[in-house]
Each structure stands twice: as C-alpha cells, then as structure tokens.
A and B are shown apart, each in its own frame.
Chain A
Amino acid sequence: MNPVVRYCLVCITLGAIFLGCTPPPIKVGFIGGLSGFNSDLGISGRNGVTLAIDTINKKGGIKGRKLELLVRDDRQDPEVAREVFRELVNERVVAVIGPMTSSIAQALIPLANETGILLISPTVSSPDFSGLDDNFIRLTTPNTNEALGLAQESFNQRVVKPCVIDDLSNQAFSKTLLRTYTAELRRLYEADGKEIPVVALPYDPDDSESIQTLLTGIERYQPDLLLFTTNSLDTAVLAQRIRQKGYAMPYLGTGWSMSQTLIENGGHAVEGMVFTVPFNPDSEARSWRDFMELYQRSFGKDANFGSSQGWNAVLVLTEALAKVSGSKLKDAIVNKQYEGLQGSFYIDPFGDPVIPFQRLVIKKGRLIADNQTQP
C-alpha cells in the first residue's frame, strides 16, 4: 500500500477513535438534609449546586469533561450521613459538597480526613470547625460572627430579658450560637455596667409536645426578645404561634431560617425579624439577579441563602478542578479570593471564608438590607 495512503488511513482511524471517545465525567457528591422538617436548606442548597453544575456542563464542563452530580440525603442523621459519604467515596467522587448543617459536619469531617475526600460545605457555620487544617472547607463564616451581630442587635434594642429558642435537632449550630451570643451580650452589657440574663428555651422539632412546652416557657418568662435558632418552617410556625398568644417582642433569626419559606409561612408574625448574615437576598449584584431569575424559572421559587451558597460551592470547587485534582484540591482552593454571586469573598488557609456581614430585616414580606440601624 502506498505509504501516504497508509499514513492517511492511520490518521483517520486514530481520529475516529479519539472523536468516538467521550471522556468520563468528573463525579461530584452532594450531601444535605433533603427530607424531614429541616429539608428546606438542604433542598435549596442542592438546587443551587444542580443549577451551577448544569450551567458549567452546558459550557463544556471542566477541561472537556462533564460534571456528574451524585446527590445523597443525610436525613439529618449523622449515621446516615456517614453511610452516604462512604457511598460517595466508593463512587470515586473528587469532592463532596455538603453537608448543610453543623451537626452533620461534625460526623463527616473525621471521615473526610480519613479518606482524603474534600468536604466543601456551603452553609455550616459552627465555629468548632474554624482554624483547623483539615479536609473541610466551608463557604459561610462561623456563626460566632453571626452571634456577635445578633448580640449587638439585642444590645442596641436594650432588651432586658432576651430568650434563645434552642433547636435540639442542630446542637452543633445552636449551642455555639447561643454560647457566643450570650457571652457577647453579657460583655456588651458589662461594658455598660449592667448584667443581662440570657435564657434558652429548648425546642425539639421531632417532639409534637415541644411547641406547647416552649409556649408555656415563654408565658412564664415573658421575654422581651426572641432569638430563633430553628429552621425556616419551624421559625415561621413558632413565630406565628407566639404572636397568636399576643406577644409582640422583637424576633431575631439566623441565616438557617432566613428564606422565602419563613416569610410566606410566617406572615406578619415575622415582620421586623432581624438577621445578621453574610448574605443579602435583595442584592443588586448582576450575577445574583441572573441567578435569582434562573432559579425562579427552574424551581418556581426564590433563590435563598442555601441555594446561593450551593452555587458558590460549585464555583470554588470547579475553579480548583480546572487547575489540579485529588489531594491537591484543598491547596488550590484556600488562600484565594473568589467572585461569588453577591460579591467577592476570601477563603483563608484553614478553609474558612471571610465575608462581610449585613443586617437584614423583613419588611412587608421582603428581606431588606438595613445597615443604617446597625451601629
């Protein structure tokens, strides 16, 4: 055979082989609470992650490889969370986005360190995980910062009988917040030469009697401010039930409950509720507005903190995947500035972000940035 013809045939054959080969997808895991009462945050986080991955895949993926999302429900159960994490490890995911709550993070971080699979949580905010050189990265600041802001808000309102509704289902989050809030509030009052008692009323969403116990506690203590550490739906129902009893004390909420679900189900009861969070649903940032529109179109709901953080988590991971893979992922992520949906943020060498906080207030059924009242 003519050498030129043979060369051409070899080139055509090799070309056909290469064109016919689709590179395998990059598997990315997601773990979040997708069922039960606390599913709101998990579902919105998953939706944000899904949208981000779909968007990246439509642009051609990472280095020509598509991203494949493997979603697992931790059912807010640490044991289930460990089980599904192992499943994802067996599926050879490059990293796991999640979990969405601190109590589950507490169960998964040791496994992440053991297996070398990077855990990137969009929303875990317990300060217990700060400053550790582990295989855990998160995209929200420790709730200690949030607690400091809430304490300042309480101090500004000169409350004398503040009360914290302590969610027993997410103690890793609520206990830390309660501890920091109490300490900071006392510090502020002590600086003013006063003492302030902070009462915590436990609430167990899995106990149908718990709400009545809580209402009895409120009735007896008569607090002049309530800080909810519960999720959005529980916060909405509790807020309504408390208002139903005729109480008008101001409400403080956390980033965990701050969502459209809270506003829709809380109605007027949550009007005026204040949050100090690293997130502003009313942001005018172009990327946020585009995301809001895409999210609404895709899910028929407003994007919220969880979905925004889910998107950002994918952004952080894929920027690193474009450069490195495997054990070097964390090094490629930390100590770097990112352009998130609502502005830039920085992830420090320990995998903790530095994001400016904002004071948000629910006004006329909308979350409004209201920094003017913040000292």
Chain B
Amino acid sequence: MFSGVFISIERGINRTVIERNELMAKSIALSIEQQIRDASTLLIHTTSYSGSIDSPDFKAFLESSLIKSGIFESLFIINEDGIVHYSIPYNEIFTGFDFSQQAIIQQVLKRSTTDPVYSAVFISTLTKNPTLMVAVHQSGKVFAGYVNLAWLSRLSDSLSNARLTYLSIVDRYGTTIANTNRAYVEEQYSIANTDLFLWAQKEKQGTKLHTSNSNDNDMLSSVRFVPGPDWYIFISEPTSSAFKATRDVFIIGLLVTTISLIVAAMVGYVVGRDMLQSITVLTEETRQVQAGVYRSIASRSPYIELNRLIDTFNAMSEEVRSREQQYEEANHKLQDALKQKDILLREVHHRVKNNMQIVSSLLALQSDELSCEEDKEYFEHSKLRIQSMAIVHEKIYQTDGVESLPLKAYIQDLVELLQSNNQNYFQYTVSGDELSITLNQAIPCALTVFEACTNAIKYGLNIEKKYLELSINIALREDNQVCIHIKDSGPGFPDGFNPAEINSLGFTLMKGLMEQLKGTISWYTNNGAVVELNFPLHSNNSFSGLDKS
C-alpha cells in the first residue's frame, strides 16, 4: 500500500515539476515573443513617417521613442545601397558605413512590405552583449534597430529557483544567446549537435530527460519555440533537484514508516512485557495450584482483559482451595470412621475369638466329665474345630486389615494348635506362597485344612515309630486358583478308599466346605496320603499382589 501511495505521489509531483518548467518556458517564450513583436511594431509605426527623415524633429522623435525608451540600443537608417544614412547614436562614426554586405540588409532590401526581418543574434561590438537586429523596409529606407538582448540572460534572475533552474535561449542554429552562465553567451556556445537541440528543433515544445554536455549531470529540460526570431527557450533543472520533492516524500515516508515501526515495536515490547509479566505470574500460580498451593494473585495488570483473567484465576483458586479443604475434612471424617470401624471389627473378631475360646473351654471342661473316649474325642475334635475358627478371628484382628488374614501364617498356627493338642509328636512344614484370604473363605478353608491335617495326624502316624511328618504347601496358580497340598508320611489311603462309603465326617465336612468355596478336593497316595484343595481366590487377593517368597 505504501508503494502504491508513493508511486501516485511521485507521479503527481513529477507531473507538477514538468508542468511548472513547461509553463515557465512558455511564459518566457511568450514574453520574449511579445517584446520582440512590440519592438518590431514600434519600429514599423515610428518609422512610417511621410515627412523628411532628416528633419531634426523626426530624429529627436526616433531617439526618444526608440533609444531613450530603452527598447533599442541603436538605430540605423540605411539607404537602398546599404549605406548608413545616419545612426542614433554614434552618428558621426557610422554615417557612410556600408552595410550592404550584411545578410539581413540584403534580405530586407528585397522586401516590398514592412514585415520585419530578424538577424541572427550576434555579439555587439559596442556593448559586447548578444544583439538582435530588427530591420524594416519602408519609405525607401531600411530602419535597422539593434535590440540589446542582455535582458534575456537577466531573466534567469527572475526564476524563483535560479540556483537550481537554468535558463538558456539559443538561436535557430543552437548558438547560445542567453544563459544563466553569461560566458556561454559571449563565447557563442553552441548546442547545435546535441540530442537536446535536435529534439527541440523537431518537437518545438515539451520536456526531455537528457545528460548535460557540460557536466554529465542528468537534466530535465523543457523547451518552447519562439517564432519570429526562431529561438528556443530551455528551462533546465538537474533531475536531482527537480525530483527532490519526490525524493523528500519518499524519505519522509520511509522515516515515518520506520519511526512508526520503532514506536510500534516499543509499544509492543512494553505491552508484551506487561502482558508477559501477568501471564508469567498466572502460569506460576497455576503451577502452584497443581502443587496444591492456593494463593490469590495480588498484582494487577494495566489491561482489563488480563485483570479479568487474574480475577477468574483468583476465584478459581479460592474455589479449588475451598473444595480441597472440604475434601480433606471429609476424608478425615472418613478415615476416622474407617478407623472406628476397624477397631469395632477387631473388637468383634476379638470377642468372637474369645467367645469361641470360651465355647472351646466349655467343651474341654465338659469333655472331662465324659467317660467315653470316643465322646471325648468328638468333644476334643469339636473343641479344636472351634479353636481353628477362633484362630481365624484372632489372625484377622491381629493383621492390619480386618477383611482378610495371611493364609500361610494361619495354617502354621493351625498345625501348631494340632501339634500342641496331640499326644504324638510330629514334624511339619508349611511352605508356599504368602497370600491373604478373605474372612468368607478363611473359615471354610480353615476347617477343611483342619480336617485334612487331623486325618493326616490320625491315620498317618507310624504307630511303631511314633513318628509323623506333615508337609503343607500353599500355591497360587496363574488362574487365581489356590492349591493347598497336604501330605503326610503315613501309609496313604487304603486301596479302594471311598469317603462316601466309610461315611467319614471329616471328608464330608471337607467336601461340603470346598463346595462352599466353589473348589474341589482330591486325594491320592504318593509316599503318604495327599489331599489337594483347590478353590478360586476371591478379590482382595489378586495374583498381582502375590508375594512369591
């Protein structure tokens, strides 16, 4: 857009400069043409005298109207032979002079009308100035007036910008007759063979860009032809000054643009810096919010939009802080409630276990009153079953959680319980994966393991050696099935052993309990009796949470 504006301004200014110079050349040409025409007309009218041209009155009239008026420098009255009849002034010098060989005199003598004839411009011997002779033929005489053209060169002084604008007037041959530089006139400097003059001869008027002959400068010259004397008026100006305004406009435009850009950059910098500062504070405070620190931004921005953003942020920060506080309080309450529940649960488990211990003790006391060993054994069994369940509750409240218990530790305690309540010593090992089992699965699982271990102790003991080795392995398979492998060092199951046929309470219990766990029970002999329990492990105990120690 700037380029477009500049080009249109440039064209406008250039057109104005050219029009100005052409107008100047035209006005000077018209002025010269008018002055020469006036001088010619004056010469014609003044000399159209019917009386004697030798009368003193006529001579005085000629002198006052033509010479003293300053229009003509001198006047020669020449007869038909080309001899000076008299002259004003210098009469005593030139009277009798023969001008018959002068081209203009020969030309005017041939004329029958009073139309003026103009000589080529020449340097006057008297004034050393360029001079034009205007001659008219009337009343049998030639009246030849010499017009001093020094005023032509003075025209340049009237140019408004004379130091940069040059006036040059050349005759029809290209010889300088007026110029800002007077030496060109005196030396009859010729531009006859220049492109400028050849162009001027052809065009008569217009403007041309060309290179100066004298100093190689690029010039803008406007020309105007003056008919009559056939002169050419040149108004020349170096393009550097002619188009200075264009250049100035360009420079000013460039400066304004540059300053605007600098100011815009500075304003942008200041605005950007302020905005960036506010945004940096916002970013930092957002980070603080992420870190859980909620603060209000106290500093204010000079920009309403940013202040709105800061206000929104402060409101958001306060809201988040408030909610966070509410959540924390709720969490505390929840934690307290959970803790309370845990305590209560532990207390419940503890009391259940104590109650079971009491029941077990009661059974023990009552079994003492029994005389039948078989009954005692039933009581003893029941007591141990109750204790095995009490251990479950004990393990539960002893562990961190209240919903599950460590299976391996529990079995360990269970076997120890069996050992401590068995008259025969046996060795045992509990190995395998550490896993937790929920309370729902713990009781059936405990009772099943208890029954299996009781059977192993009962039927696997080598009577002779009074020795039994019991090994229990716990494994959690990848399909989340718990496999408890109970093996004794006894003789194993008798051939054709079928628990259904022998109506074994233990096996019946185990089958029922495993069904409850949606598991299976299998048994076989392999260097002793082997019972395998398989059941799926319920939630809280996932394979990923397994500790494969």
- Chain A residues within 8 Å of B, Cβ to Cβ: 34-37, 39, 43, 46-47, 50-51, 54, 71, 73, 233, 237, 240-241, 243-244, 263-269, 298-301, 365
In terms of DSSP, what is the predominant structure of the interface of chain A?
Answer: helix
Tell me, in angstroms, the Cα distance from A50 to B103 when the chains sit together: 25
Q: Are A264 and B186 CB-contacts (below 8 A) given A37-B125, A50-B193, A237-B125?
A: no
Say yes or no: B186 contacts A267, CB within 8 Å: no
Residues of B166-188 contacting chain A, CB below 8 A = 171-175, 183, 186-188
Question: Contacts of B125 on A, CB cut-off 8 Å?
Answer: 37, 233, 237, 265
Question: Contacts of A71 on B, CB cut-off 8 Å?
Answer: 187
Please list 9 pairs of residues, one from A and one from B, whose beta carbons are closer than 8 Å in the complex, sorted by A's number: A34-B183, A35-B186, A36-B128, A39-B188, A71-B187, A244-B96, A266-B98, A267-B83, A299-B192
- Minimum Cβ distance to chain B for residue A42 (Å): 8
Residues of B185-211 contacting chain A, CB below 8 A = 186-188, 190, 192-193
Say yes or no: B96 contacts A35, CB within 8 Å: no
Question: Contacts of A36 on B, CB cut-off 8 Å?
Answer: 128, 186
- Judge whether B97 is part of the interface by a CB distance below 8 angstroms: yes
Question: Contacts of B188 on A, CB cut-off 8 Å?
Answer: 34, 39, 43
Tell me, in angstroms, the Cα distance from A266 to B100 when the chains sit together: 9
Say yes or no: A267 contacts B98, CB within 8 Å: yes
- Judge whether B82 is part of the interface by a CB distance below 8 angstroms: yes
- Judge whether B120 is part of the interface by a CB distance below 8 angstroms: yes
Say yes or no: B101 contacts A263, CB within 8 Å: yes
Q: Are A267 and B128 CB-contacts (below 8 A) given A299-B173, A299-B192?
A: no
Say yes or no: A265 contacts B102, CB within 8 Å: yes
- Minimum Cβ distance to chain B for residue A96 (Å): 17
Tell me, in angstroms, the Cα distance from A289 to B95 when the chains sit together: 37
Q: Are A300 and B173 CB-contacts (below 8 A) given A43-B187, A264-B103?
A: yes
Tell me, in angstroms, the Cα distance from A35 to B183 when the chains sit together: 8
Say yes or no: A298 contacts B190, CB within 8 Å: yes
Residues of B64-119 contacting chain A, CB below 8 A = 82-83, 93, 95-103
- Judge whether B123 is part of the interface by a CB distance below 8 angstroms: yes
Tell me, in angstroms, the Cα distance from A299 to B95 when the chains sit together: 30
Q: Which 8 A-B pairs have the closest CB atoms?
A: A267-B98, A300-B173, A34-B187, A268-B98, A35-B186, A298-B192, A365-B101, A244-B96
Residues of B435-468 contacting chain A, CB below 8 A = none
- Minimum Cβ distance to chain B for residue A304 (Å): 14
Q: Which residue of B lies closest to A47 (CB)?
A: B190
- Minimum Cβ distance to chain B for residue A28 (Å): 15
Question: Contacts of B173 on A, CB cut-off 8 Å?
Answer: 298-301
Question: Contacts of B175 on A, CB cut-off 8 Å?
Answer: 299-300
Instruction: Give how many A-B residue pairs fall within 8 Å (CB-CB).
Output: 78
Number of interface residues of B (CB under 8 A): 28
Q: Which residue of B lies closest to A299 (CB)?
A: B173
Q: Which residue of B lies closest to A244 (CB)?
A: B96
Question: Contacts of A43 on B, CB cut-off 8 Å?
Answer: 187-188
- Minimum Cβ distance to chain A for residue B307 (Å): 62
Question: Contacts of A34 on B, CB cut-off 8 Å?
Answer: 183, 186-188
Partner of A39, one of B96, B102, B103, B187: B187
Question: Contacts of A269 on B, CB cut-off 8 Å?
Answer: 97-98
Say yes or no: B190 contacts A268, CB within 8 Å: no
Tell me, in angstroms, the Cα distance from A370 to B538 when the chains sit together: 154
Say yes or no: B97 contacts A267, CB within 8 Å: yes
Say yes or no: B102 contacts A240, CB within 8 Å: no
Q: Are A50 and B101 CB-contacts (below 8 A) given A233-B125, A244-B95, A267-B82?
A: no
Partner of A298, one of B95, B96, B193: B193
* 15 extra A-B contacts, CB within 8 A, seeds A267-B97, A298-B192: A35-B186, A37-B125, A43-B187, A50-B193, A51-B193, A73-B187, A243-B96, A265-B125, A267-B83, A267-B102, A298-B173, A298-B190, A299-B173, A301-B120, A365-B100
Tell me, in angstroms, the Cα distance from A37 to B98 when the chains sit together: 20
Residues of B385-440 contacting chain A, CB below 8 A = none
- Minimum Cβ distance to chain A for residue B206 (Å): 23
Say yes or no: B190 contacts A299, CB within 8 Å: yes
Question: Contacts of B102 on A, CB cut-off 8 Å?
Answer: 264-265, 267
Question: Contacts of A46 on B, CB cut-off 8 Å?
Answer: 187
Tell me, in angstroms, the Cα distance from A25 to B88 when the chains sit together: 51
Tell me, in angstroms, the Cα distance from A50 to B192 when the chains sit together: 10
Tell me, in angstroms, the Cα distance from A300 to B197 when the chains sit together: 14
Question: Contacts of A47 on B, CB cut-off 8 Å?
Answer: 190
Say yes or no: A267 contacts B193, CB within 8 Å: no
Question: Contacts of A39 on B, CB cut-off 8 Å?
Answer: 123, 186-188
- Minimum Cβ distance to chain B for residue A139 (Å): 22
Say yes or no: A240 contacts B97, CB within 8 Å: yes
Tell me, in angstroms, the Cα distance from A28 to B30 when the chains sit together: 40
Say yes or no: A264 contacts B187, CB within 8 Å: no
Tell me, in angstroms, the Cα distance from A73 to B101 when the chains sit together: 30
Interface string of B256-290 (1 = CB under 8 A from A): 00000000000000000000000000000000000
Q: Are A300 and B98 CB-contacts (below 8 A) given A36-B128, A39-B186, A267-B82?
A: no
Say yes or no: A54 contacts B186, CB within 8 Å: no
Question: Contacts of A243 on B, CB cut-off 8 Å?
Answer: 96, 98
Say yes or no: A50 contacts B190, CB within 8 Å: yes
- Minimum Cβ distance to chain B for residue A315 (Å): 18
Tell me, in angstroms, the Cα distance from A265 to B172 when the chains sit together: 22
- Minimum Cβ distance to chain B for residue A202 (Å): 20
- Minimum Cβ distance to chain A for residue B137 (Å): 18
Question: Contacts of A35 on B, CB cut-off 8 Å?
Answer: 128, 183, 186-187
Tell me, in angstroms, the Cα distance from A190 to B134 when the chains sit together: 54
Q: Are A267 and B99 CB-contacts (below 8 A) given A35-B183, A47-B190, A54-B193?
A: yes
- Minimum Cβ distance to chain A for residue B425 (Å): 102
Say yes or no: B101 contacts A298, CB within 8 Å: no
- Minimum Cβ distance to chain B for residue A343 (Å): 26
